[in-house]
Amino acid sequence: MSEALQANPVLVVDFGAQYAQLIARRVREAKVYSEVVPHTMSVNDMLAREPRAVILSGGPSSVYAEGAPALDVALLEAGVPVMGLCYGFQAMVQALGGTVAHTGRGEYGHTPATVTDTGSTLFDGQPAEQSVWMSHGDSVSQAPEGMRVTARSEGAAVAAFEDDERRLYGVQWHPEVLHSEQGQRVLENFLWKGAGIPADWTPANVVDELVESVRSQIGPGRVLCALSGGVDSSVAAALVQRAVGDQLTCVFVDHGLLREGEAGQVEKDFVAATGVTLIVYDAREQFLTALAGVTDPEQKRKIIGAQFIRCFEQAARDVVGHADADGHPVEFLVQGTLYPDVVESGGGEGAANIKSHHNVGGLPEDLQFTLVEPLRALFKDEVRAVGLELGVPEVIVWRQPFPGPGLAIRIIGAVDAERLDILRRADAIARAELTAAGLDRDIWQCPVVLLADVRSVGVQGDGRTYGHPIVLRPVSSEDAMTADWTRVPYETLARISTRITNEVREVNRVTLDITSKPPGTIEWE
């Protein structure tokens, strides 16, 4: 990440909220760069980042409970624009001398709120009556001195306040969730009007900054990238290629476990669009031989991982073993790490030596690279926007998340060429019909599962059949941590079922998985 992009972020202070990352995403959607920091970070460290604004998240605690996270009033006196949400709102009140009380009238979920000043900074251009998403048991009974109350609800006489002179703002609800009808506009008004931040976090600007950063990091060195065909590795590769051109070599291991047409997308469409140098390892027979007769899903994963390591090791030896004409060896490895990965792993920074446990599939311990992570400041939706800006084909940019072990873990039972063919054809039909119905952006992922070790009786034509069942698993999610099954229209489901049972003769039954996560997982294995 370049210094220009890191400079002057909007800091989202996490008080233990389930929505902290979502707040940062919403700020990014307002075209303003943001980062999540823990509430334990000192005010001095926050101010050292020279933030353009600070947003205080919600949290599970009561502000007056013993051990509850406290807010240092020095942050509110530093002249930096601050906005508090839910717990952050109440923490501001407590720090500034207002009153937070347990009134016995909590508000949860959809709640009507009344804006008492529709010309204020936060609520300019919004209706006086709006539905917001509340989640509080305590309420602010007295606003701090100097704060102008600009909204109320039945259970909160002080539901929002503003102080334009000190540039301090707060709302009792969660504007970051979609259930708050005007939530994004409230955040945008704070950022653009209250804090005066320009909306300059755009895909074009991001690409320019990241290309310059990668170019500066790599210099004349050579780079290796394990290309899976997924969104993250494809966009990372395209970005590095834009920065350093033929100094990058991508390795694509074709293990024969991809869906219909995906290997071709990588080998032809991606290369044509980006001009990247690609080495393809055809390891289909090698993977099928290793997987023969294996039914345990964990064993499948381990076998696939081990085979991938061997293939990538060979590719690394082939590429690394030869310096370029100017004598530059391969010393960098590209990885598609995203911002949620950084936050969830504790925000570790710095270059790293890639070991065999790493998610590129692993490398020998004596083969060391400096890590290049051009996407580590981005969320998934931003990665897609950057990919489109770079010219990555839309079919790759909007590709649904797909597991590393591929179709092997969507076959319940042993994996062989015949079963892969059955599943590929069924999966292609399901994807085609969901696309035709315009549901690609509504569905996070739709695994198609082959119950290879299960047979059911059916009738096709005038004869009795004994075929395989197929399971459709359409789910909606923002981050895959939780998910709900997607309510696909019956007409679309009917077309999928009819086409699969007509065109894939080995299948005589199509079923629908309507389990949420939790308790179920998105993939079956």
- How does pLDDT run across 310-344, given as a tens digit for each residue? 887 777 777 765 555 565 667 888 888 888 777 65
Q: Measure the CA–CA gap between 480 and 489, rounded to whole angstroms.
A: 22
Q: What is the mean pLDDT of residues 400-424?
A: 91
Q: At residue 355, does pLDDT exceed 70?
A: no
Q: Measure the CA–CA gap between 172 and 221, rounded to whole angstroms.
A: 52
Q: At residue 350, does pLDDT exceed 60?
A: no
Helix, strand or coil for residue 483? strand
The lowest-confidence range among 188-192, 365-369, 390-394 is: 365-369
Crossing angle for the helix pair 284-291 and 297-320, to the nearest 10 degrees? 150
Q: What is the mean pLDDT of residues 20-42?
A: 92
> Which pLDDT belongs to residue 1?
44
Crossing angle for the helix pair 203-218 and 231-244, to the nearest 10 degrees? 60
> Which pLDDT belongs to residue 345?
56
Per annotation, catalytic residue among 35, 107, 162, 176: 176
The lowest-confidence range among 110-119, 262-271, 335-344, 492-501 is: 335-344
% the chain with pLDDT above 70: 90
Q: Residue 174 catalytic?
A: yes
How far the first Cα of the chain sits from its last, in Å, is 36
> Which pLDDT belongs to residue 462?
60
- DSSP letters, 246-269, are GGEEEEEEE-S-SPTTHHHIIIII
User: Which token pair is 439?
Assistant: 């549901």
Per annotation, catalytic residue among 39, 174, 255, 468: 174
- How does pLDDT run across 82-100, given as a tens digit for each residue? 999 999 999 999 999 998 8
The pTM is what? Answer: 0.73
Strand positions, DSSP E, 137-217 = 139-142, 148-153, 156-163, 168-171
* Residue from 412, 436, 419 nearest 511 by CA: 412
Q: Measure the CA–CA gap between 499 and 501, rounded to whole angstroms.
A: 6
Q: Residue 86 catalytic?
A: yes
Q: At residue 466, does pLDDT exceed 50?
A: yes
Cβ-proximal residues to 331 (8 Å cutoff; 6+ apart), any chain: 221, 222, 369, 370
- How does pLDDT run across 193-226, given as a tens digit for each residue? 999 999 999 999 999 999 999 999 999 988 988 8
Q: Measure the CA–CA gap between 319 and 311, rounded to whole angstroms.
A: 12
Per annotation, catalytic residue among 35, 86, 209, 525: 86
Q: Residue 357 catalytic?
A: no
